Structure 1
Amino acid sequence: MTRSRMLYAVIALALLALAGFGVWMASLPGTPSALTATPVPQAEVDALLTTLKPRRARPVIAVPGLNAGTETTDYLLPASILRRADVAEVRLLAAAPGPVQLYPALRVQPDATFAGFDAAYPGGADYVIVPAMRVDDDPAILDWLRQQARKGATIIGVCAGAKVVAAAGLLNGRRATTHWYYLDTLLSRSPTIQYVPDRRMVADRGVVTTTGITASVPTALAMVQAIAGSGRADALARELGVLPWDARHASGAFQLTRPFATTVLKNRLSLWRRESLGLRLTPGMDELALAFAADIWSRTYLSRVQSYAKTTDPVPTRGGIRVIPDLAAPDWPQQSRITLPKGPPLQALDLALEAVLARYDKATADIVAMQLEYPRWDSDLLSR
């Protein structure tokens, strides 16, 4: 083949690929209509709380992580909320020694490895909260989950952590849910699962699964209610700035849409707009606000979050989580610095989305909220 013919062949293939991509984009739905989540029947709420009842007066909660990649808020939020409630012993774990690299941002030093936890708690945990991980079928993770289930632990798959729970064989024949983006993957890999829409949490025979990232908040509060009563859970929800926090959900509002795909593609291609944002780590900082800020700004496809402190030594948060700075730096340029807000920590979620809207645009704030599967975000109201 001559060089000119080869060039024509490459151009032809590129045009065919673009045409196919255009057809795929055109096949996607537009923006979903506004949907109202309907209340969950009381019998279902009672069944969820029964599933979440602990075996001990002060239960033990384990949050396992894959060292090479675990989702930021899935790993940090449940542990933070449950430690704040002071109703259980909460341990952040890793499959192997060393830090856990979170994605899309932050790195933390866990409390123990699986082996260390097993030595300290040979009877196992009361609950195991499973975050989303870069790899769904890591053998060490799956073996440890099966062991904990056999010891009687309630297994809670947060967000795409449901895929990890399914890979361990613990969702076979059960009712379940997961993050909207991974639902088809979950069901194709585990076809015996019965998908339950319009619920942020679904319980079935000792296993609980949730929808997207922000569902870890009501799930942790439901655990507090099951352990210490509704009064403690409601008081904590007010302290955090989370109302309401029940299991109702409008699943149809979250899907892969044409505006979502278009904005992600546009932002990915906007190389000239890319920026690094600094997030300062300080002792005693609120890890809830920290996790939301790091996660939200890292999901714009325009910004990269880097944590910094005076040294690279781990920095302890309010809840005793040791966050390892990405770099040692005395400061960061003001215009590229992320500031954590004061007040109830969960307000950081809305405030960070509003800041994304102001810094970039409405479409970018919307794709972040869609990734978080956050039902309370309405940028149309905020931008009027």
Structure 2
Amino acid sequence: MTWRLLAWSGIAVAALVPIIVGIWLLSLPAASAFRVPPAIANEERDAMLAALKPPKRTRPLIAIIGINDMTETTDYLMPYGILRRADVADVVTLATGPGPVTLFPVLKVEPDATIAAFDAAHPDGADYVIVPAMSRDDDPAVMQWIRHQAEQGAVIVGVCAGGKVVASTGLLDGRRATTHWFYLKDWRANHPAIQYVADRRIVVDRGVATTTGISASMPMSLTLIETIAGRGKAEAVAREIGLPSWDARHDSNAFKFTRPFALTAIQNTLAFWNREQLGLALVPGVDEVSLALVGDSWSRTYRSHAATFAATGDAVTTRNGLRIYPQAVAGSWPADRLLPAVGATPPAQALDQALAGIETRYGRSTADVVAMQLEYPRR
């Protein structure tokens, strides 16, 4: 009798699951409606640039911090690549401990130094500290180091969900800020003293800056370049990376958990037998921004994961001097699972091409899911 009851209970639960999931899906918004946000007033733009002025050096020192175990790929590499390309500041990548930094969802890099070595070399601290998203928001070493840098006068910049890390330090309490749409609800609930600002890619308040999604690293980096070296230099770098225009405007309402997003993510996840590992050749001199954007995009489809490969396991030096380790040692990759080489295409265009390739391979809905995760308004 007991086993019969358990069997019937199991059948009843199994029957209820699709109903519950269906009700949940119907409760989600049907789709996102994109609009062109209004232009940023000159007064607001000028105030933001003034608030970001280098606090210490004529040629600023910019430190990008990560934990060795899972720091977000594009948050870590995109500011590095764009700012190093501009050559208006000294830019270093840091880790909390010795050894490489494993990035999520793809790539492994050798940082320039540990935070301890940085502190020994620069006891007066950085001018800017860029904080990516990390696998945990409250790493003790990260918390202590960011607070110390802020006390020394550094401008703290939380990139995307790196805003959660900055919030955990307490530096955002009482300040205006933003973060990635997916974490917004919990972020505000856990840190009620933060004054959330909608419809802005970049928000700056008293020495602390935050940005929206992963793709916001592009306008954020260009804004820093403009602050340091002027509008002309920023425009020149923007042309090089393939971004025709940039500013802080944003349509926050367009990025949210929708029914199409949920359905596509569920369908792709359930198709586990049809998951692919796609090869991305790692070659000397590769542009780290393009590499990060392409690898990150193809690893967010719920259908595929990108893996860098090279003929040996030795680290490969990128365009701007970063050392990246291949994830697989191979002289070639099966042609049907080989991603186009990351070549001379400007980074912003490489992202558009990656999204177009994802749409061709898996459909428009999957490309939209990737763009939504990146908080990237598709052109």
Task: Work out whether the TM-score is over 0.5.
Answer: yes
Pair 1:373-2:375 in alignment: yes
Q: Within 2, Cα distance between the matches of 1:317 and 1:78? A: 14
Contact 2:286 2:343 in 1 (8 A): no
Q: Within 1, Cα distance between the matches of 2:242 and 2:44? A: 25
Pair 1:361-2:354 in alignment: no
**1:163-202 alignment, distance < 5 Å:** 163-202=164-203
Match of 1:145 in 2: 146
Q: Within 2, Cα distance between the matches of 1:345 and 1:188? A: 35
**Could you list the per-position Cα deviations for residues 253-276 of structure 1 after superposition, in whole angstroms to 9, with x for gaps in the alignment?**
110000000000000001232111
**1:201-280 alignment, distance < 5 Å:** 201-280=202-281
Letter in 2 for 1:21: V
Letter in 2 for 1:327: A
Letter in 2 for 1:50: A
Letter in 2 for 1:23: I
Match of 1:36, SS?
A: coil
**Could you list the per-position Cα deviations for residues 53-101 of structure 1 after superposition, in whole angstroms to 9, with x for gaps in the alignment?**
1121111000000111111000000011000000111010001111111
Contact 1:240 1:344 in 2 (8 A): yes
Q: Within 2, Cα distance between the matches of 1:4 and 1:138? A: 49
Q: Within 2, Cα distance between the matches of 1:224 and 1:34? A: 28
Letter in 2 for 1:214: S
User: Unpaired runs of 5+ in structure 2?
Assistant: none
Q: Within 2, Cα distance between the matches of 1:188 and 1:321? A: 38
Q: 1:34, CA displacement in angstroms?
A: 2.6
Match of 1:21 in 2: 21
Match of 1:42 in 2: 42
Letter in 1 for 2:105: P
Q: Within 2, Cα distance between the matches of 1:65 and 1:91? A: 11
Q: Within 2, Cα distance between the matches of 1:218 and 1:97? A: 31
Match of 1:89 in 2: 90
Q: Within 2, Cα distance between the matches of 1:4 and 1:111? A: 63
Q: 1:342, CA displacement in angstroms?
A: 2.9
Q: Within 1, Cα distance between the matches of 2:187 and 2:352? A: 29
Task: Let me know the Cα RMSD of the aligned residues.
Answer: 1.0
**1:52-201 alignment, distance < 5 Å:** 52-54=52-54, 55-201=56-202
Taking structure 1 as the reference length, what is the TM-score of the superposition? 0.96
Contact 2:108 2:326 in 1 (8 A): yes
Pair 1:343-2:358 in alignment: no
Q: 1:295, CA displacement in angstroms?
A: 0.3
Pair 1:2-2:5 in alignment: no
Match of 2:203, SS?
A: strand
Q: Within 1, Cα distance between the matches of 2:352 and 2:23? A: 35
- Report percent identity of matched pairs: 55
Taking structure 2 as the reference length, what is the TM-score of the superposition? 0.98
Letter in 2 for 1:32: S
Q: 1:19, CA displacement in angstroms?
A: 2.6
Contact 1:47 1:203 in 2 (8 A): no
Q: 1:7, CA displacement in angstroms?
A: 1.4
Q: Within 1, Cα distance between the matches of 2:94 and 2:15? A: 49
Q: 1:14, CA displacement in angstroms?
A: 3.0
Q: 1:48, CA displacement in angstroms?
A: 1.2
Match of 1:312 in 2: 313
Q: 1:20, CA displacement in angstroms?
A: 2.4
Contact 1:35 1:252 in 2 (8 A): no
Letter in 1 for 2:157: I
Contact 2:34 2:251 in 1 (8 A): no
My pick for the range that moved more, 305-314 or 202-211, is 305-314
My pick for the range that moved more, 364-373 or 29-38, is 29-38
Contact 1:180 1:212 in 2 (8 A): yes
**Could you list the per-position Cα deviations for residues 261-306 of structure 1 after superposition, in whole angstroms to 9, with x for gaps in the alignment?**
0000000001232111011111111111101110000000000111
Q: 1:310, CA displacement in angstroms?
A: 1.0
Match of 1:63, SS?
A: strand
Q: 1:341, CA displacement in angstroms?
A: 4.4
Q: Within 2, Cα distance between the matches of 1:345 and 1:179? A: 21
Match of 2:313, SS?
A: coil
Letter in 1 for 2:213: G
Q: Within 2, Cα distance between the matches of 1:335 and 1:341? A: 19
